[in-house]
Amino acid sequence: MEFNSTRRAFQRRFLCGLGSAAAGTAFTPWHVAQAADAAASPVLKVVATFSVLADIAREVGGNAVEVSALVGPNADAHVFEPTPSDVRRVAGADVVITNGLRFEGWIDRLIAASGYRGTLVVASRGVATRQLSGGADPHAWQDLAHGMRYADNIRAALVTALSAKYPARAAEVEARAVAYQQRLTALDRDTRARIAALPAERRRVITSHDAFGYFAAAYGITFIAPRGWTTGSEPSAEVVARIVRQARNAKASAMLVENISDPRLIERIAREAGLAVGGKLYSDALSAPGTEADTYLKMFEYNVRTLVAAMSVGGQSTELTAKP
């Protein structure tokens, strides 16, 4: 009996203490921490088709989004083959982001196989496309002005997805998007200034495939490529011979390999044209996390620095002032 009486007294004291804590004393810091953790947790699962789009979504979405890329760093989206795990990832997504312009020839099949019915964002929507006989060039992110359009399309989709249930998170996305656009604008301005400082006759390079048409039009560089817009087929001997002649006649400044391509073709053309391989460019994919081009801004900055060095007499270059 004495034991039971003591136990009941303890229970009363414990419950009273719990009530005091709930009123805003001892337990308040724990509740604040719990609320802060909830606010920092992702509330949208976003799947992007390739690494450039995934990075833009992370920059704009911040802590509100959990982003994954179907085609990862240093991988070629042109020849990508989805797996069953990719089907499951798309099926479980809240938002799927694609480039559009037929860049991902496999995406319609993947979405159909997954049964996905959520928000589908075409990041290139509204871009003034570069048109040739093969249709629209899909590599629009190679012009930072188009990159700004990509970021705005992604912002709009994320804000719409968040607004009803998470208005504060939607406001955070809006603020992040403004800051990101400012960084893109600064890098675009510096890119134009640095390339314009080079003599026009030096602004000619050869790359692995025709991924830099938008860059060429925006920033005034001539790119020559043995492959077209995709990397799925090898150029014929006749095409390679034509590129060698173009390189000689156009007095190209350098050859540059791409991170997604086998360098042997460029090395062969360089030998036959009497040119040096002047470095590596990132075209359709970022580099691995923690390396020189692991974000869209860093990729662009790296490419500009590499191009300017390759086109400059003596290979001299200066640093960009925009620091992503």
pLDDT in tens, 120-151: 999 999 999 998 777 899 999 999 999 999 99
Can you give the pLDDT at residue 229?
A: 42
Instruction: Tell me, yes or no, whether 203 and 222 share the same domain.
Output: yes
Q: Give which of 132, 56, 9 is closest to 295, Cα–Cα.
A: 56
pTM for the predicted model, two decimal places: 0.79
Q: Is 55 part of any domain?
A: yes
pLDDT for residue 206: 78
Return the minimum-mean-pLDDT range out of 26-30, 43-47, 83-87, 285-289. 26-30
Confidence at residue 23, expressed as pLDDT on a 0 to 100 scale:
41
Residues 149 and 154: their CA atoms lie apart, in Å, by 9
Q: What is the CATH number of the domain that holds 56?
A: 3.40.50.1980
Residues 291, 250 share a domain? yes
Is residue 271 in some structural domain?
A: yes
* pLDDT score recorded for residue 16: 44
Q: Does residue 5 lie within any of the structural domains?
A: no
Both 59 and 155 in one domain: the answer is: yes
Whether 25 maps to a domain, the answer reads no
Contact 199, 312 (CB under 8 A): no
Number of domain units in the chain:
2
Q: Decide if 322 is inside a domain.
A: no
How high is the pLDDT of residue 164?
96
Of 132, 157, 190, at which residue does a domain stop?
A: 190
pLDDT attached to residue 40: 75
118 pLDDT above the threshold of 50: yes
Q: Tell me: the pLDDT tens digits for 45-86? A: 999 999 999 999 999 999 999 999 999 999 999 889 999 999
Helix axes 167-196, 51-61, angle to 10 degrees: 120
99 & 239 share domain: no
Reported as a pLDDT band with limits 50, 70 and 90, residue 253 is low
One domain for residues 279 and 170: no
Q: What is the pLDDT of residue 243?
A: 63
Give the residues across from 281 on adjacent strands: 258
Taking CA atoms, 318 is separated from 254, 307, 312, in Å, by 18, 11, 11
Same domain for 178 and 254? Answer: no
Q: What is the pLDDT of residue 271?
A: 67
Q: 168 with 67, same domain?
A: yes
Q: What per-residue confidence (pLDDT) applies to 233?
A: 53
Q: End of a domain among 167, 190, 213? A: 190
pLDDT bucket at 26, cuts 50 / 70 / 90: very low
What residues make up the domain containing 132? Answer: 42-190
